[in-house]
Amino acid sequence: TSSTLLSGKKVLITAGGTQEPLDPVRYLGNRSSGRMGYAIAQACQEAGAETILVSAPTDLPIPKGVKRISVMTAQEMHDVVLEEFPKMDVIVKAAAVADYRPKENASQKIKKQGTSLWVELVPNPDILAELGKIKSKQILVGFAAETENLIDYAQEKMRRKNVDMLVANDVTRQGSGFGSLTNIVSFLFPDGRRIDLPQMNKLEVARHLRDKIAELLGVTKED
């Protein structure tokens, strides 16, 4: 049954939007609420998986039975995920990770000055791409949040980041993407298969995703 579908499996999910500090009171962030990732953690825990949630700051409660490790920046998320990775069977990267961070994190609040303020940004590590390079037995699931050419860009990410499954998320549609209670996604697989899900709440999306992960692990639902 689905309550034992993933028993004995270790699953790590990243969630939320990283925050990249500019000074003691400001950061660069994004609109991720963490809901999608938290729902995936709940769905995997319900199926008996040992579930770790590596979470950027959110207001969401920790799903029952899930271990949460809180992080703030992309670099912190990177360090935790890389440390846990060898022990895991499945990694799902639902977090919205900042591709760039301010080069300097000022030790004092930046004062208002002149007519413009220049902030230099430097690249963050691409956690998913790194995992794609070092993975052995693990099932690696990535997301792609896109505002145009959804399927083309998502397919390109799937290949470049060497993932086993990619969740393509059109974040411009109503009821989809950042912050909403529902989502509209497609699942893409390296063999060319594609599944388009209709709009549904994020927990339902998460349960579909979990069942696909179980299939990739070679376990199937009996009920």
Q: Site residues for ligand PMT, window 162-181 (CB under 6 A)? A: 169, 171, 177-179
Binding mask 118-137 for ligand PMT (x = CB under 6 A): ------x-xxx---------
Taking the C-alpha atoms of residue 139 and residue 90, their distance in angstroms, rounded to an integer, is 5
Shortest approach of ligand PMT to residue 37 CB, angstroms? 6
First vs last C-alpha separation in the chain: 5
Looking at the Cβ atoms of 5 and 144, the one nearer to ligand PMT is 144
Taking the C-alpha atoms of residue 127 and residue 134, their distance in angstroms, rounded to an integer, is 11
Q: Are 51 and 65 in contact (CB under 8 A)?
A: yes
Q: Are 12 and 71 in contact (CB under 8 A)?
A: no
187 labelled ligand-binding:
no
Segment lying near ligand PMT (by CB under 6 A), choices 47-55, 106-114, 142-150, 192-200: 142-150
Q: Which member of 94, 184, 209, 214 binds ligand PMT (CB under 6 A)?
A: 94
Segment lying near ligand PMT (by CB under 6 A), choices 27-35, 62-70, 111-119, 193-201: 27-35
Q: Which member of 6, 52, 96, 209 binds ligand PMT (CB under 6 A)?
A: 96
152 labelled ligand-binding:
no
Q: Does 90 bind ligand PMT (CB under 6 A)?
A: no
Q: Which member of 54, 140, 145, 213 binds ligand PMT (CB under 6 A)?
A: 145
DSSP β-bridge partners for residue 69: 54
Catalytic residue list contains 162 = no
Q: Are 41 and 66 in contact (CB under 8 A)?
A: yes
Helix (H), strand (E), coil (C) string for 11-58: EEEEECECCEEEECCEEECCCCCCHHHHHHHHHHHHCCCEEEEEECCC
Q: Total residues at the site for ligand PMT (CB under 6 A)?
A: 27
Other Cβ atoms within 10 Å of 46 Cβ, number: 20
**Contact positions toward ligand PMT, by CB under 6 A?**
32-36, 74, 93-97, 99, 124, 126-128, 142-145, 157, 169, 171, 177-179, 202
